[in-house]
Amino acid sequence: MPAPRRARARLACGLAATAVAAALALAPLTRVEGATREALAWLAGAALLLAAGAALRAPSLLAPALLALLAEYTVVLLQGGDRVDAAAPLVAAGLLLYAELCSWAREANPRVHDERRTLATRAIGLAASTLAALALSALILLAAALPAGGGLARLTVGVVAATGIITLVALVARPIATRARR
Amino acid sequence: MTRRPTGKIAAYTGVAALALLAGLALGRPELVAVAAPLAVLVVAGLTGTRDPQLDARVSVDRERALVGDEVTVELALRAATRIERLEVLLVVPPGMDGQDGGPGGSSLAPRRIGGPGGSSLAPRRAGASRAWAVAVTLGAGEERTLAIPLTCRRWGAYWLGDVHLRAHDRFRLFSWERRLEQPVPLKVFPLPETLRTLVRPRQTQVSTGSHVAAQRGDGIEFADLRPFLPGDRPRSINWRATARRGGLMVNQRHPERATEVVLFLDSFQDVRGAAGSTLDQAVAAAASLAAAYLRQRDRVGLVSFGGFVQWLQPGSGQAALYRLLDTLMETQVFATAAWKGIRHLPPRTLPAKALIVALTPLVDERGVAALFDLLARGYDLAVVDISPLTHAGRAGGDWGGLARRLWALERETLRHRYQRLGAAVVEWTDAVHLQQVLLEVEACRRRAGLAPG
């Protein structure tokens, strides 16, 4: 495959990621009205810009783009009241799909040609992780809907989860670049 | 292999942490549901990822090649653990190239010797060198050999095998990098030109060869008649002359002798253009001349006079040719302050009665002065002036044209100075074949009374 075609592969991944991000950014606008909608439109625009930048040009913008999309969704959630949002698994899967497509776009170096088997493995992995994200989010929502013995038990689960994630952050923060044995 | 985390870990962890905390603070399970896949992916990646076990070896299908030949670099990979994506990058030194790709670059695809599937490579520009890169997936215990065809575009001594490997895990959270240091030597010789006529030396040596010597002795070529003397062989008697003159007359003949030729390579400067360079021309010509002289049983030596002096004493036969070509391959422009003031060649580098064929662009004053020194020392010198004007390209504007004409005039003056001192000098422009240049040198020497016959 010549280099221009491989450059197009990178562009295609970036554009696909941007399209997913656009869906994630614009869909919440349909669920709010009035002044909130106007304010959210600005946030959506910024999120979309960041998302496009992360997908097409600067991979370091991935975390800000994800946070902006998440912030927009949080605003919509808060506007929606106490009702559990059934679209959350879709948002979770969409966010993961966007992030993975960004990662793929970064990986699709025009100088390097991926053989067909590598591409197929990657595509299957991406589809599987998106479906798994969808299922996991749905399970969590279902678990949240179950009566779990009142607020204390739910709070305990939340504290344990928060402690776990802080431990994870500490694990990631330590230097993990190693020189393995040859 | 050196392990490096990708930016994905920090991004996923940070976003997941913030979403989980926000979910906890706001009491919204949706945020937890959104964050969970990112967190799970990071946890799975951190716990499940192991350093890849990879063995890689580089080999080249031959050690010597000619310009234009195709050599195959084989990269044997063996993975003990599964590697989701392995980027293989081979640095191709300047002077070597991949095959010219057809439509879609299909001919760039390497042949795969082992393992299923196929793969292809493509070139990239990286400064002066180029690289061929491919990404493959290796299963646990899988062996794969990638064959990378390269075409030798320029002569020289190359080290192939500069390979960079980068492995990725399943979740692309880590990458491992390694540089293979298994240099494999490859010598690319210039294509020898067929030369029918060579510059004949003024004097011959005592050993037997193909040149008719000016002296008289045993040989084939008739030289003269003289009266018979005791000790002369009866088969030398010329009976017809004896019958005409009334006394025994014998034939005298010219013996066939070998000559010693020293190729003088001026490598102080290299004028490089789009089509090649003066040094390329000089090395190719030296290789052709060496092969041609050695074919006619002459002894050939080499003096490479550049940043430092390299010389080979004259030798004969196939071994001498390979020794000479090996030395030629190492010729390069080498700037050094230590030899800045060199003007003379060490006396022992040049044997007496040797013909010196100088291949020089007459650009560097040290090379020019060394040739004057050789003439002053009485050597039989023929100069092939490899014109740098063809390689230098056209200068723009009136001043550029004027400078070019002045340079050409200066070079012509220099050639006349050599000719006045008894050297045959011929300018070799790009369009002319080496054989034609040698014929002109021979004609020039004949006019000056330097060439025999």
B141 and B245 share one domain: no
- Cβ contacts (< 8 Å) between B129 and chain A: which residues? none
Give the sign of the dihedral formed by CA B352, CA B358, CA B364, CA B368. Answer: positive
Contact B41 A117 (CB under 8 A): no
User: For residue B150, with 0-12 CB atoms within 10 Å meaning exposed, 13-18 middle and 19 or more buried, which class applies?
Assistant: buried
On whether residue B145 sits in a domain, the answer given is yes
On whether residue B310 sits in a domain, the answer given is yes
B354 and B279 share one domain: yes
Question: From CA B311, how far away is CA B421, in angstroms rounded?
Answer: 25
Contact A111 B4 (CB under 8 A): no
B386 and B441 share one domain: yes
Question: From CA B422, how far away is CA B434, in angstroms rounded?
Answer: 22
Nearest CA in chain A to B83: A118
B432 and B313 share one domain: yes
**Which pLDDT belongs to residue B129?**
60
Nearest CA in chain A to B34: A92
On whether residue B210 sits in a domain, the answer given is no
Mutation target among B24, B34, B85 for the A interface, most CBs of A within 10 A: B34
What phi, psi does B58 have (nearest 5°)? -115, 140
- Cβ contacts (< 8 Å) between B77 and chain A: which residues? none
Nearest CA in chain B to A73: B31
B281 and B402 share one domain: yes
On whether residue B211 sits in a domain, the answer given is no
pLDDT band at A97 (very low <50, low <70, confident <90, very high): very high
* Nearest CB to A136; choose among B22, B36, B84: B36
Give the sign of the dihedral formed by CA B378, CA B384, CA B386, CA B389. Answer: positive
To the nearest whole Å, the CA of A38 is away from the closest chain B CA by 23
Contact B13 A168 (CB under 8 A): yes
Helices B397-420 and B365-376, interaxial angle, to 10°? 20
Average pLDDT over residues A35-43: 88
Nearest CA in chain B to A81: B28
B85 and B223 share one domain: no
B303 and B417 share one domain: yes
**Which pLDDT belongs to residue B101?**
34
Query: DSSP 3-state assignment of B59?
Result: strand
Helix (H) / strand (E) containing B71? strand B70-79
CATH number of the domain to which B75 belongs: 2.60.40.1530
On whether residue B197 sits in a domain, the answer given is no
B30 is written with which tokens?
């949706």
Contact B37 A103 (CB under 8 A): no
B124 and B173 share one domain: yes
Q: How far apart are the first and last CA of chain B?
A: 70
B25 and B128 share one domain: no
On whether residue B205 sits in a domain, the answer given is no
What ranges do the domains of chain A cover?
3-147
Contact A141 B24 (CB under 8 A): no
Average pLDDT over residues A100-121: 88
To the nearest whole Å, the CA of B62 is away from the closest chain A CA by 27
To the nearest whole Å, the CA of A51 is away from the closest chain B CA by 13
Query: Tens-of-pLDDT digits for all 453 residues of chain B?
Result: 788 888 888 899 999 999 988 988 888 888 989 999 999 899 888 888 888 888 999 999 888 888 888 999 999 999 998 898 999 988 888 888 875 433 333 333 333 333 333 333 333 333 356 788 889 999 888 999 999 889 888 888 888 888 999 999 888 899 999 998 888 889 888 888 888 888 888 888 777 777 777 778 788 888 889 999 998 888 889 999 999 998 999 998 888 888 889 999 888 878 887 777 888 888 889 999 999 998 888 889 988 887 677 788 888 888 888 888 888 887 766 555 555 555 666 777 788 888 899 999 988 888 888 888 888 888 888 999 988 887 777 767 778 888 888 988 998 998 888 888 888 889 888 778 889 999 998 888 888 776 555
B61 and B185 share one domain: yes
Model pTM score: 0.70
Contact A74 B2 (CB under 8 A): no
- Cβ contacts (< 8 Å) between A78 and chain B: which residues? 26, 28
Strand B64-66 vs strand B424-428: parallel, antiparallel, or unpaired? unpaired
Query: DSSP 3-state assignment of B343?
Result: coil
Bridge partners, residue B311, by sequence: B303
Among B231, B254, B277, the domain boundary falls at B254
Confidence check: pLDDT of A16 > 90: yes
Compute how many other C-beta atoms are within 10 angstroms of the C-beta atom of residue B282: 26
Confidence check: pLDDT of A45 > 90: yes
**Which pLDDT belongs to residue B112?**
35
Strands annotated E in B267-323: 299-305, 309-315
- Between positions 117 and 146 of B, the ones with CB within 8 A of A are 117-124, 131, 133-137
* Nearest CB to B22; choose among A6, A74, A171: A74
| B49–chain A Cβ distance below 8 A for any pair | no
* Nearest CB to B5; choose among A103, A168, A176: A176
Confidence check: pLDDT of A51 > 90: yes
Residue indicated by tokens 């195709």: B70
- Between positions 79 and 98 of B, the ones with CB within 8 A of A are 84-85, 87, 89
**Which pLDDT belongs to residue A6?**
61
On whether residue B308 sits in a domain, the answer given is yes
**Which pLDDT belongs to residue A180?**
43
Contact B3 A177 (CB under 8 A): yes
* Nearest CB to B134; choose among A115, A121, A122: A115
* Nearest CB to B1; choose among A63, A111, A180: A180
Domain count for chain B? 4
Nearest CA in chain B to A59: B7
B277 and B340 share one domain: yes
On whether residue B65 sits in a domain, the answer given is yes
Nearest CA in chain A to B168: A107
Contact B32 A133 (CB under 8 A): no
Contact B104 A2 (CB under 8 A): yes
Amino acid in the structure at residue B181: E
**Which pLDDT belongs to residue B133?**
86
Mutation target among A172, A179, A181 for the B interface, most CBs of B within 10 A: A172
**Which pLDDT belongs to residue A65?**
94
Range(s) of the domain holding residue B23: 2-48
- Cβ contacts (< 8 Å) between B47 and chain A: which residues? none
- Cβ contacts (< 8 Å) between B39 and chain A: which residues? 165, 168
Q: What is the DSSP string of B165-211?
A: EEEE-TTSSEEEEEEEEEEEEEEEEPPPPP-S--PPPSS--SSEEEE
Torsion of Cα atoms, B242 then B244 then B246 then B248, to 10°: -10
- Cβ contacts (< 8 Å) between B123 and chain A: which residues? 3
Question: From CA B371, how far away is CA B381, in angstroms rounded?
Answer: 8
Choice between A182 and B79, residue whose per-residue pLDDT is larger: B79
Contact A77 B12 (CB under 8 A): no
- Cβ contacts (< 8 Å) between B33 and chain A: which residues? 88-89, 92, 136-138, 140-141, 144
pLDDT band at A8 (very low <50, low <70, confident <90, very high): confident
B58 and B34 share one domain: no
Give the sign of the dihedral formed by CA A167, CA A100, CA A117, CA A135. Answer: positive
Choice between B257 and A131, residue whose per-residue pLDDT is larger: A131
To the nearest whole Å, the CA of B68 is away from the closest chain A CA by 23
Contact A74 B28 (CB under 8 A): yes
Contact A77 B84 (CB under 8 A): no
